Amino acid sequence: MLIRSLRFLSAASAALAAVAGAWLALDSVQFLIEQFRLAATVGILVCSFGLLGASVLLVRSLRTGKILAALSAMAGALFVVGGLRHMGNVPLGEAVIQATCLRGAAVCFPQAATFIYALAALGIVLVASSASSPAATKRGV
């Protein structure tokens, strides 16, 4: 029962992150300058479609869904932070602070923070579901 509910929670987290990514892509079309608009929109949409596909695969409890979700989440977070770093010409630490809207951020991007936090929640759920899988319990993990 726990494994099934973690599977559906993983799928819901991936779907939530995909929606947050689509929202971020829509905002990037509206608010970014022409130089960065196309690359940001396409990059975020690719990650969002990967997360949406992972959500479907996670419902069917396929291992490829976990792999696709993990890769899409890492790529999405790196793309957002790297994009903010490139656009603002700021150090990596400042770009992370801007992307997550932590205290002390000179500039804050709430849509990017929503996407980053949704990806972090997905990562936590994926780790929890992997640790409670039948293969992990047989190994004694």
* Residue 133: predicted pLDDT: 64
Confidence (pLDDT) at 134? 62
Give the predicted TM-score (pTM) of the model: 0.82
Long-range contacts (CB closer than 8 Å, 24 or more residues apart) made by 71-78: 72/47, 73/17, 73/47, 73/119, 73/122, 73/123, 75/46, 75/47, 75/50, 76/17, 76/21, 76/44, 76/47, 76/48, 76/51, 76/115, 76/119, 77/116, 77/119
The total number of structural domains in the chain stands at 1
Q: Is residue 28 part of a domain?
A: yes
Instruction: Determine the structural domain holding residue 93 and report its residue range.
Output: 2-135
For the segment 93-110, what is each residue's pLDDT rounded down to a tens digit? 888 988 898 887 778 888
- Who wins on pLDDT, 139 or 80? 80
Model confidence band, residue 34 (pLDDT cutoffs 50, 70, 90): confident
For residue range 47-58, list pLDDT tens digits in order. Answer: 999 999 999 998
Residue 77 covered by a domain: yes
